[in-house]
């Protein structure tokens, strides 16, 4: 097993190994565990989050072993890049990979567990959520900061931004599920708008987001709204087509 531990947590190597070796029988399950399984563990009084990635299929076993970085490694490395750029994400602790000659088997990403007040999903599903407009505008400011740093978070979707209330009317944002990102010297207007397309299908939210983004960027509100709404509709239509196709292919389920 390959171990890669953040310098701040080197003294906990034996503890972390113990968590991984006994992952199936210990720890508190967090979430439904349908695809990737997440469990919580106590590390010297601090709750940590261990994500066990689904064992890849045969082709991906080979790819992750010899051709590209595993999801666990990418999550760890991308988290460190985000923190260096003052972008919120739970503190990375380590990643572990278990491989054989054929390829990658089990892999794990370990980070500090963050208790959040809400995710972006609540803003979509609960229109009258307290301070809704304020949180949404601050989220746009956070996303603009991402884009200015050249970070294209490919899983920028409702469940992947954790939100914590810091003080009255001030919120902090933290990205999770980090294994799919691109980094650029500069992001174009179209790339920026497309990156926000998966967050909400609600036109009223897109209007507020466009207004706030336009304040920070050299475009008019109308231009930002038109482009953001175009990419949002494009994503929603593509998403619905996938759902219809799955229903046809797996009609017996």
Stated length of the chain: 253
Domain with CATH 3.30.200.20 in the chain: 2-112
Residue 205 has pLDDT above 70, yes or no: yes
Output the pLDDT for position 167: 86
Domain with CATH 1.10.510 in the chain: 118-244
Output the pLDDT for position 253: 60
Asked if 172 and 164 touch (Cβ cutoff 8 Å), the reply is: yes
pLDDT digits (tens, 9 = 90+) for 109-148: 999 999 999 999 999 999 999 999 999 999 999 999 999 9
pTM value?
0.92
Output the pLDDT for position 251: 61
Q: Does domain 2-112 have CATH number 3.30.200.20?
A: yes
**Phi-psi bin for 31: left (phi > 0), alpha (psi -120 to 50), beta?**
left
**Phi-psi bin for 211: left (phi > 0), alpha (psi -120 to 50), beta?**
alpha
The one-character DSSP state at 76 is: H
CATH class for the domain made up of 118-244 = mainly alpha
Count of CB atoms within 10 A of residue 28's CB? 11
From CA 13, how far away is CA 243, in angstroms rounded? 44
The one-character DSSP state at 91 is: P
**Token pair belonging to 213:** 């983004």
Percent of the chain with pLDDT over 70: 96
Asked if 27 and 40 touch (Cβ cutoff 8 Å), the reply is: yes
Q: How many CA atoms lie within 13 A of 163 on its CB side?
A: 23
Q: What is the CA radius of gyration of the chain?
A: 20
Beta carbons within 8 Å of 69's beta carbon, 6+ residues apart: 77
* Mean confidence (pLDDT) of the chain: 94
Continuous H helices in the chain: 13-21, 58-62, 71-84, 120-125, 132-148, 189-195, 203-216, 221-249
């Amino acid at each position: 097993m390959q171990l890669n531990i953040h310098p701040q947590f080197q003294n906990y190597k034996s503890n972390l190994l113990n968590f991984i070796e006994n992952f199936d029988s210990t720890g508190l399950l967090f979430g439904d565990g349908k695809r990737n399984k997440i469990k919580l563990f106590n590390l010297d009084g601090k709750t940590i989050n261990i994500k066990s990635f689904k064992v890849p299929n045969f082709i991906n076993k080979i790819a992750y072993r010899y051709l590209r970085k595993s999801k666990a490694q990418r999550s760890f490395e991308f988290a460190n890049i985000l923190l260096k750029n003052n972008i919120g994400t739970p503190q990375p602790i380590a990643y572990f990979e278990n491989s054989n000659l054929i390829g990658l088997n089990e892999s794990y990403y370990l980070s500090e567990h963050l208790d959040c007040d809400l995710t972006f999903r609540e803003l979509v599903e609960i229109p009258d959520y307290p301070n809704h407009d304020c949180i949404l505008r601050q989220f746009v400011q956070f996303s603009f900061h991402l884009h200015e740093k050249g970070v294209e978070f490919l899983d920028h979707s409702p469940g992947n931004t954790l939100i914590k209330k810091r003080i009255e009317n001030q919120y902090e944002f933290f990205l999770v599920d980090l294994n799919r990102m691109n980094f650029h010297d500069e992001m174009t207007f179209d790339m920026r708008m497309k990156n926000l397309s998966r967050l909400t299908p609600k036109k009223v939210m897109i209007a507020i987001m466009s207004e706030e983004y336009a304040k920070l960027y050299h475009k008019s509100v109308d231009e930002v709204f038109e482009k953001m709404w175009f990419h949002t509709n494009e994503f929603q239509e593509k998403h619905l087509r996938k759902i219809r196709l799955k229903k046809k292919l797996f009609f017996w389920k």
